A and B are shown apart, each in its own frame.
Chain A
Amino acid sequence: MTGTSPAADFLLARHRWHWAEAIPWILALAAFFLFPGWLALGTQILIMVLFALSLDLILGYAGIVTLGHAAFFGVGAYAAGMLSALLGWHEPITGLIAAAVSAAIVGLIAGLIILRTRGLTLLMLTLATTILFQEIANTFDHVTGGFDGLHGVTPAPLLGLFEFDLWFKVPYLYALAVLMLAFFVIRRIVYSPFGRELEGIRENVARMHAIGAPVRRRLVTVYTISAALAGIAGGLFAQANAFVTLDVFSFDRSGAVLIMLILGGSGRLYGAFVGAVVYMFMEDQLARLSPEFWQFGIGLLLVLTVLFARRGLFGLVETAARSLKGGGR
């Protein structure tokens, strides 16, 4: 076969970058210059985008539904936090590496144990994982700070040059750089043969067995990678905010990241960006309007999304882009 068919071209070219993929990064950089007063929120958003992306890898691609993804965020946060607050190692980048490695180890062990199960059992076990870690962090309060939180996280200047400032300029750019790097890795994985197999597992496990794929090994591998990325998000969170509380393991956090991904659209990478931005902005704005009822607004948007935009808000963007393109012909 020397001639190319349209079908072959589709798979050959699928991983290539589209110009529109530059948009989120341009917007993120533009926000840095245009809205210097919003960088604290911006940093939290970038961290949640990374966290949602790590979830997309296992939920959107491999189809593992989890209510306990905060376990890995939390392990990463405490790893980076304790390294600085307790051991006096303040260099931030190695702190993030420690966060990634710790979360990956936890992800690997948890994955080996719980990924034997499926469906509701698996869902409950993911939830149990994060509750377990919250209890551990609470019990060993002499090292974790328990309910009072872990204070004294003081990252050293980034690359020895840039101090973590109160206006969140350095944390914002730092988080953006880490997000870009992580996104590059995730995107690469998604468009690899391994990434295609993850989609195969999501679509039909029985058929994956029947084509000879070692399903459990694939699942444990991606769970470990996802845990490492969530751990990096947690590590960034600890360094940017200079403290860690038990809240990093909370069910709220697991739920929030799930809602972000569903809002934005799962299994499509950029859904995590849209979902995290929309959720975090709404939370920020609605909480000002009504500190008690802000969740109503997010709940309403979630219901509307699930009813009318099954592929999430980014799915709407895709549809709009496609019809524009079709109209232009």
Chain B
Amino acid sequence: MSTAVLETRDMCKSFGALEVARNIDFRLDPGARHALIGPNGAGKTTFVNLITGTLKPTSGQVHLGGQDITAMAQHERVKHGLARTFQINTLFNGLTVLENIYLGIAERKGLGHAMWRPVGSNREAIDEAVALIDRLQLTEDALRPVRELPYGRQRLVEIAIALGLEPRVLLLDEPAAGVPSAEHGILLDVIDSLPTEIAILIIEHDMDVVFRFAREITVLVSGGVLTVGSPDEIARDERVRAVYLGESSHV
């Protein structure tokens, strides 16, 4: 068994008496395609926030590439290779698509504190942003402010920014949320074609997306891990079915 690229050990989080994460042991292997599912209120978003550093766990640890990052601030974790997208678009709305993507690349390249030379003096970062825009088929929108784009196109910008950070681990928080099903195609193609060296954890409600994409699935219920398994195992699991049948007809 290779070393996990991302791992949580006995991670707990409570707000007063409310336990939102209970003894979560989780591991993500290099190149993984892993889905995190669970009914509403299962603690999926809390889990993402604990990993990215928006929240600090009450107890337990988070490891990234074998290094304990529990005490690290969010922006430092990004520098160590952990990137995320947001469930609700969290973009630089007034800036162009190009600038949205450029900012992440420039920060990764350590240009963020450079104040005495123009943006245009670093050709490489700009070309990289343009290449990424072309790859995600955003070329025609490159110079439009993000706020003018349809929601589905904005979802692509979310992913493009994260890819510009060249992460080892990428957390996709409900990438298909809010996207009309007619526009699902291009989004799913992009997700399918993400570089294989990136370990990906996708948090998703849409079971079509989950079963198309994931090779391993973790089911979260009431802040704790119910089970982990292959898509087949999860689909057959009676307990999972019970949890979901109680809620809706997603499966």
Known contacts A191-B119, A209-B75: A218-B93 contact under CB 8 Å? no
CA distance A324 to B96 in the complex (A): 23
Residues 161-192 of chain A: 1 if any B CB is under 8 Å from the residue's CB, otherwise 0? 00000000000000000000000000011011
Residues 1-20 of chain A: 1 if any B CB is under 8 Å from the residue's CB, otherwise 0? 10001111011111110000
Main secondary structure of the interface of B (DSSP, over half): helix
- Chain A proximity of B124: nearest CB distance (Å): 9
Query: CB within 8 A of A210: which of B74, B119, B120, B129?
Result: B74
A211 touches B114 (CB 8 A): no
- Which residues of chain B have C-beta atoms less than 8 A from A194's C-beta? 112-115
Does B94 touch A at the CB level, under 8 Å?
Answer: yes
CA distance A21 to B92 in the complex (A): 27
Does A193 touch B at the CB level, under 8 Å?
Answer: yes
B75 touches A203 (CB 8 A): no
- Which chain A residues numbered 198 to 225 have a C-beta less than 8 Å away from chain B? 199-200, 202-204, 206-215, 218, 221
Residues 52-66 of chain B: 1 if any A CB is under 8 Å from the residue's CB, otherwise 0? 101000000000000
- Which chain A residues numbered 126 to 159 have a C-beta less than 8 Å away from chain B? none
Does A118 touch B at the CB level, under 8 Å?
Answer: no
**Chain B residue with minimal CB distance to A207?**
B90
- Which residues of chain B have C-beta atoms less than 8 A from A193's C-beta? 106, 111-112, 114-115, 117, 119, 122, 125
A203 touches B93 (CB 8 A): yes
Does A116 touch B at the CB level, under 8 Å?
Answer: no
**Chain A residue with minimal CB distance to B76?**
A212
B130 touches A1 (CB 8 A): yes
B120 touches A212 (CB 8 A): no
CA distance A195 to B117 in the complex (A): 10
- Which residues of chain A have C-beta atoms less than 8 A from B6's C-beta? none
B120 touches A13 (CB 8 A): yes
- Chain A proximity of B172: nearest CB distance (Å): 13
- Which residues of chain B have C-beta atoms less than 8 A from A322's C-beta? none
**Chain B residue with minimal CB distance to A192?**
B115
Does A197 touch B at the CB level, under 8 Å?
Answer: yes
A1 touches B131 (CB 8 A): yes
- Which residues of chain A have C-beta atoms less than 8 A from B130's C-beta? 1, 5, 7-8
- Which residues of chain A have C-beta atoms less than 8 A from B133's C-beta? 7
CA distance A196 to B112 in the complex (A): 8
Query: CB within 8 A of A203: which of B92, B102, B115, B118?
Result: B92
- Which residues of chain B have C-beta atoms less than 8 A from A197's C-beta? 103, 106-107, 112
B112 touches A210 (CB 8 A): no
- Which residues of chain A have C-beta atoms less than 8 A from B102's C-beta? 11, 196
CA distance A10 to B143 in the complex (A): 8
CA distance A7 to B140 in the complex (A): 9
CA distance A16 to B119 in the complex (A): 11
- Tell me the total A-B contact number using a CB cutoff of 8 A: 142
Query: CB within 8 A of B95: which of A13, A14, A200?
Result: A200
B98 touches A212 (CB 8 A): no
- Chain A proximity of B43: nearest CB distance (Å): 20
- Chain A proximity of B165: nearest CB distance (Å): 6
B83 touches A203 (CB 8 A): no
Known contacts A8-B127, A15-B120, A200-B92: A211-B115 contact under CB 8 Å? no
B161 touches A212 (CB 8 A): no
B142 touches A7 (CB 8 A): yes
Interface centre among A14, A191, A199, A210 (most CB of B within 10 A): A210
CA distance A275 to B79 in the complex (A): 41
**Chain A residue with minimal CB distance to B85?**
A210
CA distance A236 to B64 in the complex (A): 53
- Which residues of chain A have C-beta atoms less than 8 A from B120's C-beta? 11-16, 191
**Chain A residue with minimal CB distance to B108?**
A212
CA distance A215 to B120 in the complex (A): 23
B91 touches A207 (CB 8 A): yes
A215 touches B112 (CB 8 A): no
- Which residues of chain B have C-beta atoms less than 8 A from A209's C-beta? 54, 74-75, 78
- Which residues of chain A have C-beta atoms less than 8 A from B95's C-beta? 199-200, 203
Does B99 touch A at the CB level, under 8 Å?
Answer: yes
**Chain B residue with minimal CB distance to A222?**
B115
B90 touches A192 (CB 8 A): no
**Chain B residue with minimal CB distance to A202?**
B94
- Which residues of chain A have C-beta atoms less than 8 A from B78's C-beta? 209-212
**Chain A residue with minimal CB distance to B127?**
A1
CA distance A16 to B90 in the complex (A): 31
Q: Which 3 A-B pairs have the closest CB atoms?
A: A212-B78, A15-B118, A194-B115
In the complex, given contacts A11-B129, A195-B115, what are 14 additional A-B residue pairs having Cβ atoms less than 8 angstroms apart? A5-B134, A5-B142, A7-B98, A7-B130, A8-B130, A10-B98, A15-B120, A194-B114, A197-B103, A199-B95, A212-B107, A212-B108, A215-B75, A218-B112
Q: List 11 A-B contacts (CB under 8 A).
A: A10-B98, A12-B126, A188-B116, A188-B118, A191-B118, A191-B120, A196-B99, A196-B106, A199-B94, A210-B83, A221-B113
